[in-house]
């Protein structure tokens, strides 16, 4: 059949043009912070991609981690990397890599950077689920508590992700993301409608002091019951001030 | 048997041996999805998965090289020193890759796990063969052209995969390009050329029709393969025109693969007295290509679908089935070459391994595809966590493992028969 060889050549040329055009529109190598570049080296050296995916690329054995930094936060991930299997007992095991603090820092900087890239993917958060926060932080982020901000809400944000409260271990600030407890995105708006007679601030305070009083449907009463003992009144007020900003 | 034929047979023997190893390692990896893993610390999945990926890649490449060299020898290619050098270098690459895999020394880039020095050696080995072919090949037949384009593209993909960058998004772009084009276009074109050579052996289709059909099929598969490959960019953020192109491509891709299937049907329905199982293996290869690249590839090209399926077992399966399609065609070539070297018009490897492999891969693939569908719905749409979803789809993983067990048994029998019935008497 005449013309099939030219068709083959034309198809190759069209394919090459499509590849160059699309790759050219996506490929814009930029300088990235050194910590991020180092973090990527740690990611490769430890073979994370053999099990995990980022942007949907990688191995199929473990969850996608594109948004993991925003979902779980720095404190949780540091704890997790020290002893992953304590967080998911009786489930798929992740090896302990014995990362140094510097390696952990750079890996987390890398994951934070990945989550900040505005690629439009995933269309909704992909959850790992499971995971219960460990009691007794082995990698306490004590540096963050050294100088506290003036603003109560800013201090509350600090307590949210730091000891002794560490709320971020179980609660996400992203909508629809469930770590262990419900997402707290929009809590300031929602809280006032939960229980008749309780305004938003009162409901939040009650939920911290007596978590079992109003357990949200679909969740269990597994929140720490002793926050009234472990947190100072100032810390509780700071946390409430912060949560009241989440409209 | 000429020196060139010996070399081609050596490549094919390597392909079969690597395939056996791949099957064993994949079985181990699949078992880790089904139950609690006692080897989670001593032999974690990341090592097993990376090793399996490397073995599959090297098996496909060995088979495509071996098949290509055999066909070229039949088309008048003279013995060439470059071929010998290439074969020795390739053998060294395989040994080093095997030990790198055993020792967990592979690269931490999914599907690009071969260490860079071995990648470079791989490029050199393929270029030596292509150079030897150019030096000694008198006839530039359609087979030579399509096969050569496939192998040359494989080299280009390897080079793309070696480009260093500290920007992770750029790295992902290069990886998507290197992996996608290598599997969906390079493997497919080289395997297609071998498939059309097989077609001459098992059917009565006229030479002129087969030649023009090969050009058409290769052009069509190149376009379709590129569309499937470029869909790997969607999650990295693409311009609006790429989304439009993807929506058109999602309809076009399955049709393009069906066009190639229709061409092959003409050959399969016009059989000659050859009794080898080349036609069976080629048909299996085409079926896997239709499922892996045509159906799953078409779904992946649709941006609205791919945003939900990226990173699930569906995208994983697309690449695996396409690579296994190339492997099925290579096994057909091995079957045909062994029969020809023995000077006998016989089945050689028999139907038992064929049906075991066919049922195993297709059945296991369907189970894994089902797992991917359920995973997509539960994890991505319903918002159930990854770990909980994985627990829920264990029954489908068990079916997948069962399929692979059957395929492994089939490949084991195939390899055993291949060894027992290897050509020991030189045939002219």
Give the pLDDT confidence of B4-14 residue by residue, as tens digits: 889 999 999 99
pLDDT at A136: 36
Decide: B150 and B187 in contact? Cβ < 8 Å.
yes
| CATH superfamily of the domain spanning B3-420 | Cytochrome c oxidase-like, subunit I domain (1.20.210.10)
CB nearest B383 (choices: A18, A93, A176): A176
Which tokens is A43 given?
């990611």
Domain count, chain A: 2
Residue B203 DSSP code: B
Rounded Cα distance between B179 and B176, Å, is 5
Q: Please tell me whether residues A153 and A236 are part of one structural domain.
A: yes
- Burial grade of A14 (CB within 10 A; 0-12, 13-18, 19 or more): middle
DSSP A215: P
Q: Do residues A170 and A211 both lie within one domain?
A: yes
* Dist. CA A122–CA B98, nearest whole Å: 36
- Whether A14 is in a domain gets the answer no
Residue contact A1–B45, C-beta within 8 A: no
Q: What value does the mean pLDDT take over residues B286-292? A: 96
Chain B 176-195, residues with CB within 8 Å of chain A CB atoms: 176-177, 181, 185
Taking an 8 Å cut-off on Cβ atoms, the answer to whether A119 and B245 are in contact is no
A211 touches chain B (CB under 8 A): no
Separation of alpha carbons B238 and B222, rounded Å: 21
Domain boundary among A99, A129, A159: A129
Token look-up 């491509």 returns B249
Write the residue in B108, B175, B222 that is nearest to A50 by C-beta. B108
Same domain, A39 and A103: yes
In tens, the pLDDT along B243-252 reads 999 999 999 9
Query: Are residues A201 and A122 both part of a single domain?
Result: no
CB A112 within 8 A of CB B372: no
The backbone torsions φ and ψ at residue B271, rounded to the nearest 5 degrees and listed phi first, read -75, 150
Structure confidence at residue A142 (pLDDT): 36
Higher pLDDT, A129 or B53: B53
Looking at residue A26, what is its pLDDT?
86
What would the 3-class secondary structure string for A96-114 be? CCCCCHHHHHHHHHHHHHH
How far is it, in rounded angstroms, from Cα B155 to Cα B64? 13
Contact A22 B238 (CB under 8 A): yes
Interface of B with A in 16-35 (CB under 8 A): 32-33
pLDDT for residue A132:
39
Provide mean pLDDT across the span B157-169. 95
Domain check: are A89 and A164 in the same one?
no
- Judge if A78 and A163 occupy the same domain: no
Q: What is the ipTM score, two decimals?
A: 0.94
- Closest CB to A55: pick one of B142, B225, B236: B236
A116 with A162, same domain: the answer is no
Is A157 found in the same domain as A210? yes
> A10 lies in a domain?
no
pLDDT top residue among A139 and B190:
B190
The answer to whether A151 and A89 are in contact (CB under 8 A) is no
DSSP A52: -
Residue B367 in this model has a pLDDT that exceeds 90: yes
- Does residue A23 sit within a domain? no
Mark yes or no for CB contact A26/B45 under 8 Å: no
Q: Do A209 and A119 lie in a common domain?
A: no
Domain ranges (residues) in chain B: 3-420
The residue from A129, A159, A183 where one domain ends is A129
Q: What is the pLDDT of residues B113-151, one digit of tens each?
A: 999 999 999 999 999 999 998 888 667 899 999 999 999
Domain membership flag for residue A108:
yes
Are B236 and A119 a contacting pair at CB < 8 A?
yes
For residue A149, what are the domain limits? 144-243
Do the Cβ atoms of B383 and A124 come within 8 Å?
yes
Residue B379: Cβ-neighbour burial (10 angstroms; 0-12, 13-18, 19+): buried
Lowest mean pLDDT of A75-89, A201-215, B205-219, name the range. A75-89
Of A69, A101, A129, which closes a domain?
A129
Tell me whether residue A3 is in a domain: no
User: Is residue A190 assigned to a domain?
Assistant: yes
> Whose structure tokens read 């109003």?
A214
Q: Which one of B108, B210, B314 makes the best mutation probe of the A interface by having the most chain A beta carbons within 10 Å?
A: B108
* B contacts of A37 (beta carbons < 8 Å): 166
Chain A residues within 8 A of B161 when measuring between CB atoms: none
């Amino acid at each position: 059949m005449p013309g099939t060889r030219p068709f083959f050549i034309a198809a190759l040329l069209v394919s090459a043009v499509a590849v160059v055009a699309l790759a050219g529109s996506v490929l814009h190598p930029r300088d990235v912070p050194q910590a991020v570049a180092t973090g990527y080296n740690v990611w490769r050296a430890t073979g994370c991609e053999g099990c995990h995916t980022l942007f949907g690329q990688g191995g199929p054995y473990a969850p996608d981690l594109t948004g993991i930094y925003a979902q779980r936060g720095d404190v949780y991930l540091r704890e997790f990397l020290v002893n992953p299997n304590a967080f998911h007992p009786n489930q798929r095991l992740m090896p302990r890599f014995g990362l140094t603090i510097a390696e952990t820092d750079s890996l987390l900087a890398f994951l934070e950077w990945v989550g900040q890239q505005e690629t439009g993917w995933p269309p909704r958060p992909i959850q790992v689920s499971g995971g219960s926060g460990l009691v007794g932080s082995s990698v306490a982020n004590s540096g963050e508590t050294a100088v506290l901000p003036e603003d109560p809400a800013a201090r509350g944000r600090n307590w949210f992700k730091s000891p002794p409260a560490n709320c971020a271990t179980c609660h996400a600030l992203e909508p629809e993301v469930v770590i262990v407890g419900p997402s707290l995105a929009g809590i300031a708006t929602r809280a006032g409608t939960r229980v008749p007679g309780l305004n938003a601030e009162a409901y939040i305070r009650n939920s911290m002091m007596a978590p079992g009083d109003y357990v949200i449907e679909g969740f269990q009463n597994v929140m720490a019951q002793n926050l009234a003992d472990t947190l100072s009144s100032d810390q509780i007020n700071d946390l409430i001030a912060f949560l009241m900003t989440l409209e | 048997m000429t020196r060139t034929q010996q070399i081609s047979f050596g490549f094919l023997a390597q392909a079969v041996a690597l395939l056996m190893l791949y099957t064993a390692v994949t079985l181990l990896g699949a078992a880790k999805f089904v139950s609690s893993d006692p080897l989670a610390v001593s032999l974690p999945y990341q090592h097993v998965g990376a090793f399996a990926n490397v073995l599959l890649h090297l098996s496909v490449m060995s088979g495509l090289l071996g098949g290509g060299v055999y066909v070229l020898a039949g088309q008048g290619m003279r013995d060439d020193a470059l071929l010998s050098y290439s074969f020795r270098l390739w053998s060294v690459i395989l040994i080093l890759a095997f030990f790198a895999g055993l020792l967990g020394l592979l690269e931490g880039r999914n599907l690009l796990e071969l260490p860079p020095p071995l990648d470079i050696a791989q490029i050199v080995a393929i270029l030596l063969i292509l150079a030897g072919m150019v030096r000694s090949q008198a006839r530039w037949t359609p087979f030579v052209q399509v096969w050569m384009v496939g192998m040359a593209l494989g080299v280009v993909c390897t080079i793309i995969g070696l480009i260093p960058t500290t920007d992770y998004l750029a790295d992902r772009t290069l990886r998507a390009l290197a992996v996608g084009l290598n599997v969906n276009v390079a493997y497919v074109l080289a395997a297609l050329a071998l498939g059309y050579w097989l077609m001459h052996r098992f059917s009565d289709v006229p030479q002129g029709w087969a030649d023009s059909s090969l050009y058409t099929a290769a052009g069509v598969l190149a376009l379709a393969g590129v569309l499937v490959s470029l869909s790997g960019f969607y999650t990295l953020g693409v311009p609006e025109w790429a989304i439009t192109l993807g929506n058109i491509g999602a309809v076009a891709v399955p049709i393009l693969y069906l066009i190639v299937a229709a061409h092959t049907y003409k050959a399969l329905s016009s059989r000659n007295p050859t009794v080898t199982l080349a036609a069976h293996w080629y048909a299996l290869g085409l079926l896997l290509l239709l499922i892996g690249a045509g159906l799953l590839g078409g779904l992946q090209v649709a941006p609205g679908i791919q945003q939900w399926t990226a990173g699930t077992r569906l995208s994983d399966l697309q690449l695996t089935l396409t690579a296994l399609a190339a492997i099925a065609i290579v096994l057909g070539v091995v079957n045909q070459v062994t029969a020809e070297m023995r000077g006998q018009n016989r089945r050689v490897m028999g139907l038992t391994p064929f049906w075991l492999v066919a049922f195993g891969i297709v059945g296991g693939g369907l189970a894994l595809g089902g797992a991917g569908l359920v995973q997509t719905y539960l994890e991505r749409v319903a918002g159930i966590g990854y770990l909980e979803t994985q627990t829920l789809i264990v029954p489908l993983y068990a079916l997948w493992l069962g399929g692979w067990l059957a395929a492994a048994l089939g490949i084991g029998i195939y390899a055993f028969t291949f060894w027992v019935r290897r050509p020991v008497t030189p045939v002219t």
